[in-house]
Homo-oligomer: A and B are copies of this chain.
Amino acid sequence: MNLPEEIEVAAKQSYPVYLGAALEELGDYLQSLPDKIQHILVISHKKVSDLYLERLVKGLEDYRVDLLTVPEGEEEKSLERLSRLTTAALDCGADRKTLVIALGGGVIGDLAGFFASAFMRGIRFLQVPTTLLAQVDSSIGGKVAVNHPAGKNILGAFYPPLAVWTDFSTLNSLPWNEVENGLAESIKHALIDDEDLFAFFETQADSIRQRDPAIWREMVTRSTSIKIRIVSQDEREQGIRRLLNLGHTFGHALETEMNYRGVTHGQGVSIGIVAASYLANAKGSLTLTEVERIKQLLQRYDLPTSIQKQDPQTLLRRMQTDKKNQGGRKILVLPQGIGQAVVSEDCTDEEILAAWHKIIVENN
């Protein structure tokens, strides 16, 4: 087998991430595992399995493979879907030795991962991420979850996969609006940890937009490596891992206020990064020139840097219920120049309001 790049994620149970792997070669990898697998349960969307299951099962001829498809959409990350997966899994004879493969984006990864963590108190689980967001972000770090009417990702687990099997070629079929969700996270990674990668995004914008394979390979590899480096230092999000929330506290308030309509996750993060940048500027850790540089980069990728017709006070209230807050205090991540960031617990409501004002465009 043509070996892909392998990076180890340090965790309570560490696991390898194979970057540039081929779907067809997953079987060879499974053969090499000490504890043999007999039954495989692939969980996917119909669209994704139509595109890629055939390639994947080419390598899995030695195993009994079942496919369970889940309807599209964030709302399928639910306890109800978990319950149906349980019934379906038992119907096709899943047991403690079954391996769950998540073939899809972050929704499939989070749902299948939480299912695998809970089914018979935990069975083996492998990530095959097929969106840019899943490759550079959600497949790495062991977080899995479902949503609940009372909050996003409110029920879940830290459940490291057996491995992450990343085939870059699956990104070819990804619609551009989905690419943008991943780009927002990739640019965020660069901003908090890697000024060189930030510059790469600036200089390679045309090639990235044209999906140049060599440039994409480099972009995904470097961006994934940042996430691996960070979660390897802090699996449980008690320290440095919190930096990954840059842009998310603002973005999440916006997404919930707009009821997840009219703004994608990537757009929310993009606007959130800009708001956090203005706040960082007010706190003295970022120059206005740097704020402009960040905005220009996001705009280069058609990511929004402002929003219309929103009420800053309402958005501020939305931030109050963020599950990352502790004891009522708002915890925010602020860029510190390009390529570094800090967690701040001392932003006042006035300062946050001022940041919201900066990114809200008054309609005439």
Tell whether A65 is near chain B: CB-to-CB under 8 Å.
Answer: no
| Pair B325/A95 contact, Cβ less than 8 Å | yes
B150 and A86 form a contact (CB under 8 A): yes
What chain B residues lie within 8 Å of A143 (beta carbons)?
Answer: 121
| A158, B83: Cβ atoms closer than 8 Å | no
Task: Check if B120 sits within 8 Å of A83, measured CB to CB.
Answer: no
The smallest C-beta distance from A240 to any residue of chain B, in angstroms, reads: 17
A326 within 8 A of B: yes
Which listed residue, B90, B97, B158, touches A327 by the CB 8 Å rule?
Answer: B97
- Given A95-B325, A118-B156, A155-B119, A150:B12 Cβ within 8 A: no
Q: Does A68 contact B (CB under 8 A)?
A: no
Docked-complex contact A149 and B323, CB < 8 angstroms: no
Cα A326 to Cα B153 in complex, Å, equals 33
Distance from A174 Cβ to chain B, minimum over Cβ atoms (Å): 28
A327→B38 contact, CB < 8 A: yes
Q: Does A154 have its Cβ within 8 Å of any Cβ on chain B?
A: yes
Residues of B within 8 A of A150 (CB): 86-87, 90
**Given A155-B118, A156-B118, A326-B96, A83:B79 Cβ within 8 A:** yes
Which A residues are within 8 Å of any B CB, using their own CB?
12, 38, 79, 82-83, 86-87, 90, 95-97, 117-122, 143, 145, 148-151, 153-158, 323, 325-327
- Across chains A and B, which 7 residue pairs bring their CB atoms closest together, nearest first? A118-B155, A121-B156, A90-B150, A79-B79, A87-B150, A86-B148, A79-B83
